[in-house]
């Protein structure tokens, strides 16, 4: 069922000459949702956002908003407002005038503009700051003013193009919470694009992960992290150990692989059915590996040598060499467990239910 506020990408492809920037995007964003497009630089996120806002036409397919085909509906006639990375606030104007600027353009009188600006300042938790100049505000406050300005025209859908990327780390983390709170308060649809998985996972109701123009998975953040459906999603979102292998067989939902580090089993992700001889990759996250205990099902034991352990405050990360592979294991720093000695023999266990077996496909590039 589509509601009157839903946004439907109906088999949207966008090409620039022979280059396909967006390849057959097909999904529905529900009215009132905080929906993120997550993917590396150049995967087509901005192009898709520009298509929703009306600055780029689909080469194929169509964008529907509230059941209405948006073909031939220009950006300023769509119920959308776009917030860029570069906020483009007017530095010498007051905060209230900045917020009310779009209303002035629409010919709304001074008194009403000020009333609306004050209302929006309350909404973004900056009451009483209307007479300040923009340069007197902090980066995070300016970000909120930009949001208020976008909200001034009462859009149904706010489109946000990496709006936090110019802020420093602490402020960025703070603004995640702020943005989510504002979105819940105003009840609008937020469509957010980012290459930062932390942002996408913390704020969104659902996330679409994109890779070279293709949407690989659309799911709630927990499902994206816990149940990736492609090797790209498993390697792009969060840390993951990737162990290639050849399928021996599958029993129910559990596939068993011959790998260079031993025989290992994991969930045949996405309800897939593998047959003997298929090439696959088993993914297991560092926090799902356990040091040196017997796993319940007796399988999935890997022996190796500790190369080093890094202390990150809240966790310790052990790098364990097994032949040509280095596997990562993370342990919560509970103040009790002693650091491991380099060169020590270690065994790693994990439950089959904690590993995902996925077909070989493109993987995210990992920072060195
Ligand atoms: N007007 C255009 N003409 C030709 N190619 C374009 C045009 N706009 C975008 N592209 C190409 O389409 C691809 C996707 O670009 P897009 O800006 O959508 O990526 P992105 O995921 O938003 O990346 P970033 O996070 O770096 O902005 C890129 O390879 C880009 O060079």
* CA 62 – CA 52 distance, rounded (Å): 10
* CA 278 – CA 264 distance, rounded (Å): 14
Q: Is 16 close to ligand 1, i.e. is its CB under 6 Å away?
A: yes
Q: E strand or H helix at 315, and its extent?
A: strand 315-322
Torsion of CA 307, 312, 315, 320, to 10 degrees: -10
What does the pLDDT read at residue 181? 86
- Whose alpha carbon is nearest atom 31 of ligand 1? 42
CA angle (251 as vertex; 249, 252 as ends), nearest 5: 140
Residue with tokens 């995070």: 140
CA-based radius of gyration for the chain: 24
What does the pLDDT read at residue 367? 53
Residue with tokens 């694009």: 193
The Å distance, Cα 199 to ligand 1 centre, comes to: 21
Q: What is the pLDDT along the chain (368 residues), one digit of tens a residue?
A: 556 689 999 999 999 999 999 999 999 999 999 999 999 999 999 999 999 999 999 999 999 999 999 999 999 899 998 887 666 788 888 999 999 988 888 888 889 999 989 988 887 778 888 899 988 888 778 888 888 888 888 889 999 998 887 777 877 787 788 888 888 888 889 999 999 999 999 999 999 999 999 999 999 999 999 999 999 999 999 999 999 999 999 999 999 999 999 999 999 998 999 999 999 999 999 999 998 754 445 579 999 999 999 998 899 999 999 999 999 999 998 888 788 888 999 999 999 999 999 999 888 876 54
What does the pLDDT read at residue 139? 78
- Whose alpha carbon is nearest atom 30 of ligand 1? 42
User: CA separation (Å) from 294 to 32, 108, 181, 283, 300?
Assistant: 47, 71, 44, 20, 9
The Å distance, Cα 57 to ligand 1 centre, comes to: 14
What does the pLDDT read at residue 260? 95
User: CA separation (Å) from 246 to 279, 285, 300?
Assistant: 5, 20, 15
Q: Is 56 close to ligand 1, i.e. is its CB under 6 Å away?
A: no
The Å distance, Cα 228 to ligand 1 centre, comes to: 25
CB 200 within 8 A of CB 192: yes
> How does DSSP assign 254-295, residue by residue?
EEEEEETTEEEEEEEGGG----TT-EEEEEE-GGG-EES---
> Phi-psi region for residue 294, left (φ > 0), alpha (ψ -120 to 50) or beta?
beta
Q: Is 45 close to ligand 1, i.e. is its CB under 6 Å away?
A: yes
CB 227 within 8 A of CB 220: no
**Model's pTM, two decimal places?**
0.88
Pocket test for ligand 1, best of 43, 59, 161, 162 (most atoms within 8 A of CB): 43
Q: Ligand 1: which atom is nearest the Cα of residue 56?
A: 1
What does the pLDDT read at residue 293? 56
Q: Is 42 close to ligand 1, i.e. is its CB under 6 Å away?
A: yes
- Whose alpha carbon is nearest atom 20 of ligand 1? 42
Torsion of CA 132, 184, 210, 10, to 10 degrees: -110
Q: What domains can be seen in the chain, in order of their start residue?
A: 7-226 (3.40.50.300), 236-359 (2.40.50.100)
* CA 188 – CA 330 distance, rounded (Å): 38
* Paired tokens of 86: 């570069």
Q: Is 229 close to ligand 1, i.e. is its CB under 6 Å away?
A: no
What does the pLDDT read at residue 223? 96
* Paired tokens of 274: 């593998």
Q: Ligand 1: which atom is nearest the Cα of residue 16?
A: 4
At 184, is the secondary structure helix, strand, or coil? Answer: helix
What does the pLDDT read at residue 87? 63
CB 111 within 8 A of CB 87: no
Q: Is 213 close to ligand 1, i.e. is its CB under 6 Å away?
A: no
* CA 30 – CA 146 distance, rounded (Å): 24
The Å distance, Cα 81 to ligand 1 centre, comes to: 20
Closest CA to 113 of 123, 122, 124, 102: 102
The Å distance, Cα 171 to ligand 1 centre, comes to: 27
Q: Is 44 close to ligand 1, i.e. is its CB under 6 Å away?
A: yes
């Amino acid at each position: 069922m589509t509601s009157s506020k839903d946004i439907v990408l109906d088999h949207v492809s966008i090409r620039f000459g022979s280059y396909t920037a967006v390849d057959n995007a097909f999904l529905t964003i529900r009215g009132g949702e905080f929906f993120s497009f997550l993917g590396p630089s150049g995967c087509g996120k901005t192009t898709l956002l520009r298509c929703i806002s009306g600055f780029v036409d689909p080469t194929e397919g169509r964008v529907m908003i509230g059941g209405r085909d948006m073909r031939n509906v220009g950006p300023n006639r769509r119920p959308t407002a776009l917030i860029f990375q570069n906020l483009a606030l007017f530095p010498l104007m007051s905060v209230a005038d900045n917020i009310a600027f779009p209303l002035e353009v629409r010919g709304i009188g001074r008194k009403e503009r000020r009333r609306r600006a004050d209302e929006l300042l309350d909404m973004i938790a900056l009451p009483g700051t209307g007479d300040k100049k923009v340069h007197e505000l902090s980066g995070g406050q300016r970000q909120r003013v930009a949001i208020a300005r976008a909200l001034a025209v009462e859009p149904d859908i706010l489109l946000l193009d990496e709006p936090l990327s110019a802020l420093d780390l602490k402020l960025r983390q703070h603004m995640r919470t702020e943005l989510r709170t504002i979105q819940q308060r105003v009840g609008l649809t937020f469509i957010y694009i980012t290459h930062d998985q932390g942002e996408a996972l913390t704020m969104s109701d659902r996330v679409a992960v994109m890779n070279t123009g293709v949407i690989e998975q659309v799911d709630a953040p927990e499902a994206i992290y816990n149940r990736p459906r492609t090797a790209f999603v498993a390697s792009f979102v969060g840390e993951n150990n990737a162990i290639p292998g050849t399928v021996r067989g599958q029993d129910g939902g559990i596939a068993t692989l011959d790998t260079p580090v031993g025989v290992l089993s994991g969930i045949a992700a996405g309800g897939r059915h593998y047959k003997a001889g298929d090439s696959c990759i088993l993914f297991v996250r560092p926090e799902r590996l356990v040091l040196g205990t017997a796993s319940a099902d007796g399988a999935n034991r890997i022996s190796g040598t500790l190369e080093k352990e890094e202390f990150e405050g809240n966790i310790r990360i052990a790098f364990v060499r097994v032949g040509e592979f280095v596997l990562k294991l993370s342990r919560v720093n509970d103040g009790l467990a002693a650091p491991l000695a380099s060169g020590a023999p270690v065994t790693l266990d994990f439950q089959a239910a904690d590993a995902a077996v996925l077909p070989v496909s493109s993987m995210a590039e990992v920072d060195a």
